[in-house]
Amino acid sequence: MRDIVVLLFLIYLIFDSIKTPWHSVLALAIFSYMNPHAFAWGFVRSLPVYFILFLISFGLYLKEKDKQSIFFDWRVKFFIILWCYFILTTIFATVPDYALEKLKSVSKIYLPFLFTLSMINTRYKLYCLIATIGCSFGFVAFKGGIFAIAHGFSYRVWGPTGTQYAGNNEFALATIIAIPLLVLLFTETTHSLFKKFLLFAIPICIASAISSWSRGALLALVGSGGYLLWNSRYKLILIPVTLLGIYILIPYLPQEWFSRMDTINTYETDESAMSRIQVWTDGWNYAKSHPFLGAGFEGWIFVSQRDWHSAYVEIFSEHGFIAFFIWLSMLLGSYISLIKLPVVTKSYPTLSWVSNYCKAIKASLLAYMIGSAFLGVSYWDLLYHLIFISALIKKFALEELKVVQKINIENKNPHLRHLY
């Protein structure tokens, strides 16, 4: 029965995309993040669902007239350069066969972003993309949160089987990254019923992340959540409510959960933590001796025989410091851009949306920057979605700003209208 439901859902998305081509970008996001086929038990699990949607999206992209040229924001340029650099490091990789397979996998993730940059050409479409990503993760996290609460947080919550978010640590981090997007939907939506549901669903998603028993995710939650609370217009209400919620929650968490979280302070006695530090040391030493090309994709097999457990270490160990600089520049540069943009637009009431969007994406990027220090997730499509969403926010904000400034000039100086 599940297979039939998922198959019908896939068929609906295909026909909907044919009718409205830019919806194909949303369909790809749904099957990347919600992974509905992972909940099936039969033949649908073996279908190349994402590849089918990709081919359809590519065909629709070629035929679609309502699209913009790919704008070469600096992040887009860096993205293309980084992709080319990955090809170079693959040629000289220490484990060529594994590296080539990983390059193919990464390229499948990267290529659809060209559709996104072209077909998401209005603020409304951008809002729909953000809503799709947030709700896709929210759907699975809400399900996990209900499970966590029902079982007193005694079991770990895992992501959809067979996906890049299957692990408890990975899914918890993805959930925390998605929560600010749900907060943005709460701020921007005009549907009162949906607002009420989000008010209920967001704490459930937080419960899902807490019940992952992930130490890195807990740090990401504190960092991202603290940022959102401190920058909220309602912080005088939300901060006491949050503290009260934590006070109520603590007695329901099992002692084993506290014991695991306490290893953050006593990492020297935790075998898992110390093994990660050893892997990071191995990766750093290898990068220093191979600063330009690193070990190539999946280089951990050659260098340390264990996964890097850090996105930062993963990049400079596998591709060298030039690639690391490009990748880190995209990440930090996007964050800085989101800080500066609201300052430019704050004097214009019609551009109040810019501050809300920037705040949410900053919180998501902050969660990634903290959580990815302990997970090898440097190639996640979710990261690049956030980076390109920040680029699109800037594009649409500056376009609207130009129009508003033009109108203001015309209103103040009617005799200048003929100049436009």
Q: Which of 131, 180, 125 is nearest to 395 (CA)?
A: 125
* Measured distance CA(104)–CA(211) in Å, rounded: 34
Q: Which residues contact 71 (CB under 8 A, 6 or more apart)?
A: 117, 391, 395
Count CB-CB contacts under 10 A for residue 343. 11
- pLDDT for the residue 7: 87
Count CB-CB contacts under 10 A for residue 274. 12
- pLDDT for the residue 419: 41
- pLDDT for the residue 359: 97
- pLDDT for the residue 266: 66
Q: Distance of CA 164 to CAs 2, 30, 254, Å? A: 21, 14, 28
- pLDDT for the residue 222: 95
Helix (H, G, I), strand (E, B) or coil at 266: coil
Block means of pLDDT (10 residues each) for the chain, 420 residues, are 85 93 94 86 80 89 84 91 97 96 93 90 96 95 94 90 89 96 94 93 95 92 94 83 85 86 70 84 96 96 91 97 97 96 92 96 97 95 96 95 83 54
Residue 127 is which amino acid? Y
Residue 269 is which amino acid? T
Query: Which DSSP symbol is given to 295?
Result: T
- pLDDT for the residue 413: 63
- pLDDT for the residue 233: 84
* Measured distance CA(123)–CA(127) in Å, rounded: 6
